[in-house]
Amino acid sequence: MDWNGRGLRQYNPRSGQQTAYVHDPFNPDGLSSNEIFSIYQDRAGIVWVGTARGLDKLDPVSNRFPAFHLPAARQASSTDNLIARIREDAGGVIWICIQGKVWQYHRKSGRYLPFQLPRFPQDLYVDDVLEAPSGRQWLATSRGLIHFDPSTGQSRQYLPRPEEPSHPRNHPRKLFLDQQGNLWMENGDEMGRFNPQTGTFIFYAVDSNINDVQESTSGYLWVATNGKGLLRLDPTWGKWIRYLPSVKRPTGKLSNADVRAIHEDQQGNLWLGTFGGGLNQFNPTTGQFTVFTEADGLPSNIIHHVIADNRGYLWLNTEKGLCQFNLRTHTCRNYDTYDGLASEVNYCMTTTHRGEILLSGERSFTIFHPDHIPLNAYVPPVVITGFERAGKPAELESDSLLELPYQDNTFAFEFAALSYSNAPKNQYAYRLKGLDQDWVYSGSRRFASFTHLAPGRYVFQVKAANNDGVWNEKGTSMTVVIHPPWWRTTWAYAFYGLLTVISLLLARREVVKRERLRADLHIKQVESTKWQELDALKSRFFANISHEFRTPLTLILGTLEELLQDRRVPIHKQQQYHLLQRNAGRLLQLINQLLDLSRLEAGGLQLAPQAGNLTGLLHSIAYSFTALAESRGIDYQMH
């Protein structure tokens, strides 16, 4: 509702509580103007406010990481807003170190109070403030170590090198207490141990800048160095052990020599944040490292801080926001500026006594409880917002059916989840039934492309999740029909079938014709064989008969030869005998010709030409018919 030009006021009718939203020029995430013209709340609970300067969005789950702006943030120089260290004391007061100055933030009153040590000059540079179990404060300053009692206001200064005020040992940077109550100081490339009981210092040289120091339950000190790997110090004997990456055998070794943060879990494993090597799990018993990187879900391989919450989750302060790391499943849940973080890069990270996490940025600090991060439970509707055909935008004529010719088989869909709480972190999955068996999880990518699809019927399905991973499993779908070319239509296949049947019938007809011809040829071959056998039989028969005829004729001719030589035979009888002799000779000649025919068929007869008297042969042949002519009264003569 419009609050008379003074911003927006939200009223809760159940509790009667009112929350005011007003324009703050120093808060870029606040209301853009106090002049409000319209208000609308969508189905996800997001309130859209039309102001004189545009459209504002008020998301009920966007305030997951409330930011607290320091008074220094209102100054001109941004370097004055760099929070180098932030801690909470037992009373709930947050101590903030900013460029050597200290502020106290009282959470109950919401007041910021500058802190100044009594009896010390204004230019005292303070890097860290650490509360001891007694409630007193230890301050790491440019003038040594200072012990301050808030109840009395008394302080005491401890200098490792009082004779050299500017010596680096007189300017500790970061403090922590070990299990024995000793106070440890990080001082660039050196560590110092201070015994509050004796007031004595012991220093340990390190060949690199120190990024973090943690004490394990076994009493060892683990030191994260800048480029020199992980160091282990045995405070009792002062012995060091160094762990470095291995180029030849990287498996099971430290992934990066630049170690930024150390945390020990309940099982005694060390979790190391590296600059570029991701998260390393180190087992001190086996000496083996297990590496987790962006490929395992981390938002970045650059990790500045590692701490644990009350439920055992690790919280990683990375170069690209926060990561909640599950130690049991090794899965990640990431948060960035889209989720309400004031900055993706935070310079300090610690916990409060109530289990909250403190983050410090350039202009503000953030307080949140890991168990109370609001969840966006809205199930987002999914819609198809665009379509491309062959790389060019095209209109969808229907929201359920898409028909395409065969040449348009390369296309793409664009889709969106209607959840505006943190739209860039909405997740999508799609598949094309008829092509894909499983869902394709595309992350925040809102389009799917398909190339050179075969003609057929497909169903494009897409589902989405909001920024907190709440999925709309039903999603939306569209049927895609790619029509075949004319030569692959039903009519074409019917023609192909008819043509195939006709071809088969013609082929069958030709086969039958050939089979018949083959059968006829076989029959003719059989008949020819039979005729040949019959001819051979006839030839043998005539040959045998001829032999039988030849013997009697030879005897007859012999008898006639004897009769013709007998001079007692009358003349007319001799003429008759001569006639009988010529005819018998003729008959013997014919029988010999039959025998020659048999030899000819057997292939045993060769041509033997010889000279002869043709006239005599003709007279001999004609004379054979003289008796027949006389018996019939025919005048038969040859000239």
CB 637 within 8 Å of CB 626? no
CB 214 within 8 Å of CB 221? yes
Residues paired with residue 39 on neighbouring β-strands, in sequence order: 49
pLDDT at 603: 65
Task: Choose between 280 and 9: higher pLDDT.
Answer: 280
pLDDT at 250: 87
Of all helices (H) and strands (E), which one includes residue 522? helix 490-565
Strands (E), 244-344: 259-264, 270-274, 279-283, 288-292, 303-308, 314-318, 321-325, 332-335
Output Rg (C-alpha) for the chain, integer angstroms: 60
Min mean pLDDT across 10-19, 71-80, 108-117, 480-489 is at 71-80
pLDDT cut 70: percent of the chain above it: 96
pLDDT at 74: 46
Whole-angstrom distance, CA of residue 344 vs CA of residue 444: 19
Which 8-state DSSP code applies to residue 268? S
Task: Please list, in sequence order, all residues whose beta carbon lies within 8 angstroms of the beta carbon of residue 301, skipping any fewer than 6 positions away.
Answer: 274, 276, 277, 278, 293, 294
pLDDT at 73: 46
Task: Please list, in sequence order, all residues whose beta carbon lies within 8 angstroms of the beta carbon of residue 206, skipping any fewer than 6 positions away.
Answer: 189, 190, 191, 223, 225, 228, 231
Of all helices (H) and strands (E), which one includes residue 577? helix 571-601
Task: Please list, in sequence order, all residues whose beta carbon lies within 8 angstroms of the beta carbon of residue 476, skipping any fewer than 6 positions away.
Answer: 381, 382, 383, 384, 415, 461, 462
In terms of average pLDDT, the best of 82-91, 533-542, 583-592 is 82-91
Strands (E), 132-229: 137-141, 144-149, 154-158, 174-177, 183-186, 190-195, 200-205, 210-215, 221-225
Whole-angstrom distance, CA of residue 374 vs CA of residue 361: 22
Whole-angstrom distance, CA of residue 549 vs CA of residue 421: 132
Give pLDDT tens digits for 475-521. 999 999 999 998 888 888 999 999 999 999 999 999 999 999 999 99
Whole-angstrom distance, CA of residue 168 vs CA of residue 161: 9
- Biggest CA pair distance of the chain: 200
Residues paired with residue 387 on neighbouring β-strands, in sequence order: 394, 413
